[in-house]
Structure 1
């Protein structure tokens, strides 16, 4: 059975690729959702480590302290050791979830959707990379050149988790564009600028007051004010492109998910901008930086959806 569509028109889905309904027994959907939530959660716990100066609460790796995997009473790091160790324990949990995703995908789709199965291996690979990089960060004493990639990989895994959830609801036919070509191009450009915004955000963090260690101040060495304003300029460009997409989605016929994704992306970006300016002018208080981190993860979710909903399989 073939599928045809024109930009802006609904796509007829063949009966043999209709996505299974969500439900309590849909273990693939549950596993993929747990993977996405877990990767957002570890961004928050990692942020808590940095914001409380607990980055070296466990001064060695893979052990917490020489001779012990877990924190000990002899450590001088105080409560920092529990915060750092707690964040480390999220990684094996994510590893179990990622393995769960891959096993369920192999069992259900190895003979029918092998490409999707291969995509489901990415979360497990990401956990391994992050665990190794986390150890390098400790051994490098929180050098921001290692911390920034750690955060950016987490954002990539959030984007990948969103992608896997979306792909699970699709078939494996060739993607077909469901918005005008110019709108799809604009969505990709906007996503690219969004990625630049995230990278510059790590430069701001790596130049600001929250080094991740209560005793040391290991920073990039960039001027924090100049870096913050460069980041803000990129945000302004992104907002302009997002507004353009929201306007386009109301001037031409596009699917509702595409319009809704960019509405949410613009709304979260505006909220993120307000939080960013407030934290800049108030000395970057810990609570606001934590909110900024959470919004960054949600921003990536809707930005990914904004690109994905421009086409259907």
Structure 2
């Protein structure tokens, strides 16, 4: 009776000295991206969007707020957000270096950006997206100030932030998984449904910016700039889209649980469902309580965390651990 040949011994893993810093830096990169969304929301919700009325200077002749400035305490909120942008840029640059330096075997040529044990391009590309996005955000923020807080540029400012949060979250979620292509751990239709869910989620975010841009929290306390839509109408349109999103999340979670070969996928989509439910409670609370800015800020934070959860859930649709070679 023939017996199966023994599996070849697994090659010992080789780690680059200092690579233990990579997950910490990537997590810090995600944290500051979330934080700057929160501080940006604070700027808008407190009417501090023009606390520094010029750009790149805060006031003509000074990059920092000056005593007796007409904008009062608003200048400190806006300047704090601008200062955090510099921190976000430094951390994004550090993340690119960390991915280049510690995501694979030791490099021999500094200019060989993709030469690192299968290159781990799946990490380098989103790291560069975050770094480039910080520059785009700085320019877009300047345009927003110079255009008197146009609701269009304010909305774009937030939506670009969501792209950067998703990229940073992808880095954190993808780093511990096998490099290169990974097999699906759910039925292929589940992945397609998941991407449809993400698309609807993007529509929810866009409509959310329209709701905010049509309401009282336009960004400046003295000269509000709004879209001009009826707040009640766009709020209910936003709510209806959220209902569709909730149904899709529930469907993906159930399908992942029924067809998944790893429990990680179903747990990740259950987390998305949990954040979505909490977001719904906060959303209706802010609507029926007259949009207090503290509740609206919590709504913005949860929207950011929902993007993080969605990104993690999409990554979890494919194998999170290396599979043994088939012979």
Structure 2 length-normalised TM? 0.87
Alignment of 1:63 onto 2:57 = yes
Q: Which residue of 1 aligns with 2:242?
A: 235
Q: Which residue of 2 aligns with 1:144?
A: 151
Alignment of 1:47 onto 2:41 = yes
Please list every run of 5 or more consecutive structure 1 residues that lacks an aligned counterpart in the other structure: 1-13
Between structure 1 and structure 2, the one with the greater Rg is: 2
Tell me: CA distance 1:295–1:17, structure 2 relative to 1, closer, same or farther (3 Å).
farther
Tell me: CA distance 1:236–1:16, structure 2 relative to 1, closer, same or farther (3 Å).
farther
Residues 209-224 of structure 1: pairs in structure 2 closer than 5 A: 209-224=216-231
User: SS at 2:149's partner residue?
Assistant: coil
One of 180, 193, 197 as aligned partner of 1:173 = 180
User: SS at 1:49's partner residue?
Assistant: helix
User: SS at 2:214's partner residue?
Assistant: coil
Work out whether residues 159 and 304 of structure 1, in 8 Å CA contact, stay in contact via their aligned partners in 2. Answer: yes
State the Cα distance separating 1:18 from its structure 2 match. 6.8
State the Cα distance separating 1:114 from its structure 2 match. 5.3
Please list every run of 5 or more consecutive structure 2 residues that lacks an aligned counterpart in the other structure: 1-8, 105-112, 323-327
Residues 24-35 of structure 1: pairs in structure 2 closer than 5 A: 26-35=20-29
Structure 1: distance between partners of 2:173 and 2:246: 25
One of 154, 170, 179 as aligned partner of 1:163 = 170
Structure 2: distance between partners of 1:226 and 1:119: 37
Residues 1-313 of structure 1: pairs in structure 2 closer than 5 A: 26-108=20-102, 109=104, 110=113, 111-112=115-116, 113=119, 115=121, 116-312=123-319
User: SS at 1:185's partner residue?
Assistant: helix
Structure 2: distance between partners of 1:257 and 1:286: 36
Q: CA RMSD in A?
A: 2.1
Work out whether residues 17 and 170 of structure 1, in 8 Å CA contact, stay in contact via their aligned partners in 2. Answer: no
Structure 1: distance between partners of 2:152 and 2:191: 34
Task: Select the structure with the greater relative contact order (CA < 8 A; seq sep ≥ 6).
Answer: 1
State the Cα distance separating 1:189 from its structure 2 match. 0.9
Structure 1 length-normalised TM? 0.90
Bigger mean CA offset, 267-276 vs 164-173: 164-173
